[in-house]
Homo-oligomer: A and B are copies of this chain.
Amino acid sequence: MASEIPITVCVDAMGGDDAPEVVVEGVKLALGKDEGLQVLLAGQEQVVVPLSGADERVIPLICSEVIEMDEHPAAAVRAKRDSSIVVGCKAVKSGRAQGFFSAGSTGACLAAATLNIGRIRGIRRPALASVIPTPTHPVILCDLGANVDCKPEDLLQFGQMARIYAQIVLGKDLPSVALINNGTEETKGSQLTQETYRLMEGSLPGFVGNAEGGDVFAGAHDVFVTDGFTGNVLLKTLEGSTKGVFRLLRDIIHSSLKTKVAGALLQSELRRLLTTFTADAQGAAPLLGVSSEVFVGHGSSNAEAIANGIDQTVQAVRRGLAAQIAAVATAPTKG
């Protein structure tokens, strides 16, 4: 059914810690899973031409430059006009592909997408969102670091965009949206969050008020909105502490014969937990507010994570994520 509508996604062959090898593997996996997928593969000739020769659904998009993870994003995008990220975004703008996926520099993708694909009319600043697994149900956190210094109007738009993304990926008609704050009471907060609270209260459907950092992993609400600085710190803290506890547990299990026996008895359940709470399974984060669907994957993505990221891009294109955001952004009144 849905998988039969043909979609072309431009994939950055050069992005990620283990690029281009894992990207090539990921593209193969993604093509195997979705018959309606075509991949416009952006990267150096020796990478993209062999794969396009082997699979007719891969179209090579040859470019000579690569933006490295540690380069200054905006400067790199300006300087490296023949990089896979810049060329890829331009291909989306020109209509050769409907969406873009990269596991490269998030900052460079943001800069290249904003510059070359453009913002949705009415959107002040694109934001990065991500699906976070929790023990009860997945939740959305936005912004994750695209905008470190924000105004209340920015946060309101992050909430409007993230709730549309939540409707699409969580399948909920009216997702609950909470504002990350240093306390749940209405009177709590920084200048930014107090003003944002007042804005959201009047104009954001599903707004349920403030939430604390611990509410994210508890799955207390569907969408959590925050500035990109706090969102980055929150996400890194959450990932670091969950992984840290799993590591402690592994060390305990490895510590004696008795505990190794216990580990063997728990093996299948622990593996399921680990799979649920590791980054690879989560895939990619959309840049909400860009005129076409752009997704950024973890730099540490393996082939499966790349394939998941490409699939997320395809699903977002099919469900019209950017078009739905555009409809809300240009609406004259309530979001």
Measuring CB to CB, which residues of chain A are less than 8 angstroms from any residue of chain B?
Answer: 70, 72, 134-135, 145, 148-149, 180, 182-183, 185, 187, 189-191, 193, 212-218, 226, 228-230, 232-249, 252-253, 255, 258-259, 261-263, 265-266, 269-270, 273, 277
Contacts and interface: CB of A to CB of B under 8 A. Distances in A.
A234 B261 contact: no
A108 to B, nearest CB: 14
Given A214-B237, A273-B248, A232 B262 contact: no
Contacts of A226: 233
A269 B277 CA distance: 23
Contacts of A273: 248-249, 252
A194 to B, nearest CB: 9
B262 A135 contact: no
A217 B240 contact: yes
Nearest to A193: B229
A232 B185 CA distance: 14
Given A244-B218, A252-B269, A148 B259 contact: no
A235 B262 contact: no
A149 to B, nearest CB: 5
A271 to B, nearest CB: 11
B262 A233 contact: no
The 4 closest A-B pairs by CB, nearest first: A214-B240, A213-B237, A213-B236, A182-B232
Contacts of A277: 245
A135 B229 contact: no
Contact of A238 (B187, B228, B237, B243): B237
Contact of A229 (B149, B216, B230): B230
Contact of A259 (B191, B244, B259, B265): B265
Nearest to A270: B252
A255 B252 CA distance: 20
A143 to B, nearest CB: 10
A258 B145 CA distance: 43
Nearest to A244: B217
Contacts of A259: 265-266, 269
Q: Which of A217, A233, A242 has the most CB of B within 10 A?
A: A233
A233 B182 contact: yes
